């Protein structure tokens, strides 16, 4: 079986959320000791969690993990970011040393961290937190040709799937958070969002790490060139991913699909995760049933992607760091939504029915 066939098999294993559990959760919320709808979107999230788990009340996810997928990008040579690709490797080392924002927030919410190198240009030292499945040392310049081969995109996707499966099957993880690291990776993210939503390069492109107006104009032009060069077909998600994506985007799509296969909620972080979610949705439409939008990145493409996915972000904190930081902050809300359904008394139980 080819790697591409294996990705299709993975996508084919995704089943829709359980409609019976969703209806039961909605009915239970109407009977709890509170005015109907008074917990707002927390109630909606609890109902969705029931559908993911296939039971009402859904189990409270007590063992979250963030998977930070890392890779470098050939398009950086076009000047789309002021930061050199060496920063990617330096930040991966910082993750492993415990000194990054993702580490601080993971400690805050009690989440473990796994870092997956699928395409960092530099060689990295071994570390217990680091999983190495390097497909290649960074992508090619997507504005000049394909970022990678189809088989490379499939291999990166399966690498992400493998880490997620290990965490769920062997590590008891019951909530996945997507994270990313890769200097220049908002450019391929914008390319993917434009491809799968039909929006223009200008609409989906933001300032990333904080570029000036001149660099933003260059970035938009590079994305326009790439879209014109490849004319990507959203009906061929692996082809679009190979032409315009990053290795970490592919790995994240694999993480998302695997969470869906196992019925494990997947909390999306920012624009890179959102773009990967569009790829995953194109491969397996039902996987959206298992996605939770952790927060709304300030990158304009993030809101466009989430609207297209039909997801409403839980938080809006003007964040755009990546790493999984915004997704991690949504973990307590996800836990609370499940706990409300399982632990609140009903009106009948407090003799008010």
DSSP states of 123-184: -----TTEEE--SSSS---TTTS-SS-HHHHHHHHHHHHHHHHHHHHTT---EEEEEEE-TT
Confidence (pLDDT) at 209? 79
CATH code of the domain containing 119: 3.40.50.10210
Please give the torsion angle defined by the CA atoms of residues 117, 123, 127 and 132, in that order, rounded to the nearest 10 degrees. Answer: 30
Mean pLDDT of the chain: 97
Give domain status of residue 351, yes or no. no
Confidence (pLDDT) at 334? 98
Cα(337)–Cα(342) distance, integer angstroms:
9
pLDDT, one tens digit per residue, over 161-189 is 999 999 999 999 999 999 999 999 999 99
- The answer to whether residues 37 and 87 belong to one domain is no
Residues facing 175 on adjacent strands? 64
Cα(127)–Cα(151) distance, integer angstroms:
27
Opening angle at CA 296, ends 292 and 301, nearest 5: 105
End-to-end CA distance of the chain: 59
- Is residue 81 within 8 A of residue 72, CB to CB? The reply is no
* pLDDT above 70 (res 129): yes
Mean pLDDT, to the nearest integer, of 105-122? 98
Give domain status of residue 349, yes or no. no
Q: Over the range 49-85, which residues count as b (16 or more CB within 10 Å of their CB) and which as e?
A: bbbbbebbbbebbeebbbbbbbbbbbbbebebbeeeb
- The answer to whether residues 43 and 170 belong to one domain is no
Cα(20)–Cα(256) distance, integer angstroms:
23
Q: How many domains does the chain have?
A: 2
**Residues that are catalytic:** 323
CATH code of the domain containing 41: 1.10.1610.10
Question: Strands 112-119 and 130-132: what pairing?
Answer: parallel
* Residue for token pair 């809300």: 333
pLDDT, one tens digit per residue, over 189-246 is 999 999 999 999 999 999 987 899 999 999 999 999 999 999 999 999 999 999 999 9
- The answer to whether residues 92 and 206 belong to one domain is yes
Cα(272)–Cα(254) distance, integer angstroms:
13
What is the domain extent for residue 21? 3-59+339-343
User: Hey, is 307 helix, strand or coil?
Assistant: helix
- The answer to whether residues 28 and 81 belong to one domain is no
- The answer to whether residues 74 and 38 belong to one domain is no
Give domain status of residue 348, yes or no. no
pLDDT, one tens digit per residue, over 54-71 is 999 999 999 999 999 999
Residue 34: left (phi > 0), alpha (psi -120 to 50), or beta? beta
Mean pLDDT, to the nearest integer, of 70-94? 97
- The answer to whether residues 47 and 83 belong to one domain is no
CA distances to 92, 165, 252, 266 from 238, rounded to whole Å, are 27, 21, 13, 21
């Amino acid at each position: 079986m080819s790697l591409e066939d294996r990705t299709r098999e993975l996508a084919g294993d995704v089943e829709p959320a359980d409609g019976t559990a969703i209806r039961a959760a909605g009915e239970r919320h109407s009977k709890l000791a509170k005015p109907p709808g008074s917990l707002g979107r927390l109630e909606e999230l609890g109902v969705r969690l029931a559908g993911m788990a296939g039971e009402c009340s859904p189990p409270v996810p007590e063992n979250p993990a963030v998977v930070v997928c890392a890779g470098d990008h050939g398009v950086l040579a076009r000047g789309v970011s002021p930061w050199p690709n060496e920063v990617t490797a330096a930040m991966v080392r910082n993750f492993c040393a415990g000194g990054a924002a993702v580490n601080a927030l993971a400690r805050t919410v009690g989440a473990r961290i796994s870092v997956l190198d699928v395409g960092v240009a530099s060689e990295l030292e071994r570390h217990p937190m680091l999983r190495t499945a390097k497909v290649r040392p960074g992508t090619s310049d997507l504005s000049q040709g394909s970022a990678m081969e189809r088989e490379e995109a499939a291999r990166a996707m399966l690498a992400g799937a493998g880490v997620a499966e290990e965490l769920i099957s062997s590590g008891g993880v019951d909530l996945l958070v997507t994270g990313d690291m890769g200097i220049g990776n908002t450019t391929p993210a914008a390319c993917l969002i434009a491809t799968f939503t039909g929006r223009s390069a200008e609409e989906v492109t933001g300032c990333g790490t904080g570029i000036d107006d001149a660099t933003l104009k260059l970035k938009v032009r590079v994305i326009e060139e790439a879209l014109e060069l490849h004319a990507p077909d959203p009906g061929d998600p692996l082809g679009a991913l190979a032409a315009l994506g990053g290795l970490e985007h592919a790995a994240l799509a694999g993480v998302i699909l695997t969470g869906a296969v196992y019925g494990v909620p997947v909390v999306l972080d920012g624009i890179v995760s959102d773009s990967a979610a569009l790829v995953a949705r194109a491969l397996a439409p039902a996987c959206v049933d298992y996605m939770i939008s952790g927060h709304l990145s300030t990158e304009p493409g993030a809101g466009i992607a989430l609207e297209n996915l039909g997801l409403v972000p839980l938080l809006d904190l003007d964040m755009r760091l990546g790493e999984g930081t915004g997704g991690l902050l949504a973990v307590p809300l996800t836990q609370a939504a499940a706990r409300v359904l399982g632990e609140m008394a009903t009106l009948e139980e407090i003799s008010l029915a």
